[in-house]
Amino acid sequence: MAICVSVRSATVKEAAAAVSVAQEKGADLVEVRFDLMSSPPTDLAPLKTAPLPKMATLRSKAHGGEWEGKDEDRLRLYRRAARAGFSLIDLEIDSPLLGFRDRDLKKVEVVVSHHDHEGTPPTSRIIEIMLLAGARGDLAKGAFKVNTVSELHRLVHASKLLSLTGKKFVLLGMGPLGPITRLRYRRLGSSMTYASLEPGKETAQGQVDIASLKRMENGIITGITGMPLGHSFSPSMHRAAFEAMGIAGTYLPFPAQREELPLLMELMRDLDIAGLNVTIPHKETVMEHLDRLDGNAEDVGAVNVIVNQKGRLIGKNTDVSALAQAFKAAGVDVRGKRSLIVGAGGAARACAAFLRRDGANIVVANRTRSRAEEVARRFSGEAVGLDDVKGMDFDVVVNCTPLGMKGFPSQLPIDPEVFHPGQVAMDVIYNPERTPFLTEAEARGCKIIPGREMLIYQAMDAFEAWTGQRPPYEILAEAVRKEQE
């Protein structure tokens, strides 16, 4: 198992300097991308004494590189590289130079590579390509752009089958879902992975820099699934927590269609993904693919967090515990309080689960009356019409609709006459921080709890479930503040 730093530099001299840095950073070998130099060099002497094994690559345009020259010129450069102590050369699977071995080239091993910059074909096709590449040289390398969870699954499945052959191979992903195939290259059975010397010096899409790769060798992978993923605050919060706590971990997006959920669950086990956040529209549909649900997820009928416990996937709902913590932090005890929930979706059900557990009396009002009745039935509450609440008295009012959220109508979800001094008003919306609902409630004398609180506590609970360590509130709050700016 080896890490090969792929060197992008303008000149041979710069490349030689980069090899020394790569060695300091723990690389096992380097790939010098001659096609990315300002012009193909004639003098490779500065690289002769470079302190790591070296691979020469002159990637053609057709395979995603910059080389457009003739095969004779390529041959000339590779001979020069062999004489300068390079032990490996890269040739594409369709190169006419494959099989050509003169005195110089006899000394080097040939990596036979295939690149697909469009997508990842079916597993059977990947196997076909890799077997052919293996037969044409010393080491087969396949690099495929991974656009979707289905494509990632194809690649991982192919790696399992290739491992059975006992032959060495290099299989990796490029593009949006590429990074995880590099972070988990050992699990994929790949004998090597490619890394950049530092962020910004990548030679392929999806490449990870060597420092991050080394740090993540036994690191924790977490992430989020949904469709579309849009702009979530979760990556900022969890990445900030990993960094501040000095935990080797990362948070990646896994956009998935509904039918891809079983594949994603398999990938969680195969790639040792410690946990995922689940967002719209999979919070309910994901449940059937899990091994167990915790009490809150059962209660709410929705999962916002999956925890991978040694291959057993547990569905949790940290929105419920987050609401409890947000109210507690605000010094509000809901026991025996008459509480109005506005809305009847996932957030409303999480709110009802919390309020019932903590002994509040629940009233639900929603645009679609039948949905309010459903929630009321499930959580032993009472359903009323949105217009009925004006004359009613509540100790607690919680907005669980998206009204007032960025991108939604900036209107109140409920008649403001409902608000009165001494009441507690919470809005689960966290973007913007101050919604029309909160502004109006505060102006009418209510104690307010912003949705940011729930957001932070649900993330703290998720992070703790994934890593075993509780992140500091302030770190996540700061990440949210930056997002809200």
Least distance from C-beta 371 to ligand NAP, angstroms? 4
**348 contributes a contact to ligand NAP by CB under 6 A:** yes
Among 403, 448, 460, 465, binds ligand NAP (CB under 6 A): 403
Least distance from C-beta 306 to ligand NAP, angstroms? 16
Least distance from C-beta 427 to ligand NAP, angstroms? 8
Nearer to ligand NAP, 186 or 390 (CB): 390
Nearer to ligand NAP, 271 or 386 (CB): 386
Least distance from C-beta 354 to ligand NAP, angstroms? 12
Residues contacting 283, CB < 8 A, separation 6+: 302, 303, 304, 346
Alpha helix positions (H), 277-360: 295-300, 318-329, 346-357
Among 346, 381, 436, 471, binds ligand NAP (CB under 6 A): 346
Region near ligand NAP per CB under 6 A, out of 204-212, 251-259, 388-396, 400-408: 400-408
What is the rounded CA–CA span in Å between residue 44 and residue 81?
7
**430 contributes a contact to ligand NAP by CB under 6 A:** yes
Among 65, 206, 249, 343, binds ligand NAP (CB under 6 A): 343
Q: Judge whether 283 and 304 are in contact, CB under 8 Å.
A: yes
For 44, how many CA atoms within 13 A lie in the half-sphere containing its CB?
Answer: 22
Least distance from C-beta 400 to ligand NAP, angstroms? 5
**451 contributes a contact to ligand NAP by CB under 6 A:** yes
**237 contributes a contact to ligand NAP by CB under 6 A:** no
What is the rounded CA–CA span in Å between residue 409 and residue 81?
64
Cα-based distances in Å from 401 to 188, 360, 379, 380, 485: 43, 20, 18, 20, 23
Binding residues with ligand NAP: total (CB under 6 A): 24
46 burial level (CB within 10 Å; 0-12, 13-18, 19+) = middle
Q: Judge whether 346 and 300 are in contact, CB under 8 Å.
A: yes
Footprint (CB under 6 A) of ligand NAP, residues 356-375: 366-368, 371
**479 contributes a contact to ligand NAP by CB under 6 A:** no
Among 405, 414, 446, 480, binds ligand NAP (CB under 6 A): 405
Pull the structure tokens for residue 46: 């500065």
**429 contributes a contact to ligand NAP by CB under 6 A:** yes
Nearer to ligand NAP, 223 or 346 (CB): 346
CA 98 to chain centre: 38
Q: Judge whether 82 and 44 are in contact, CB under 8 Å.
A: no
Pull the structure tokens for residue 183: 């972070």
Which residues are known to be catalytic? 283
Torsion of CA 68, 72, 75, 77, to 10 degrees: -70
**402 contributes a contact to ligand NAP by CB under 6 A:** yes
* Residue ranges binding ligand NAP (CB under 6 A): 319, 343-348, 366-368, 371, 400-403, 405, 413, 428-430, 451, 454-455, 458
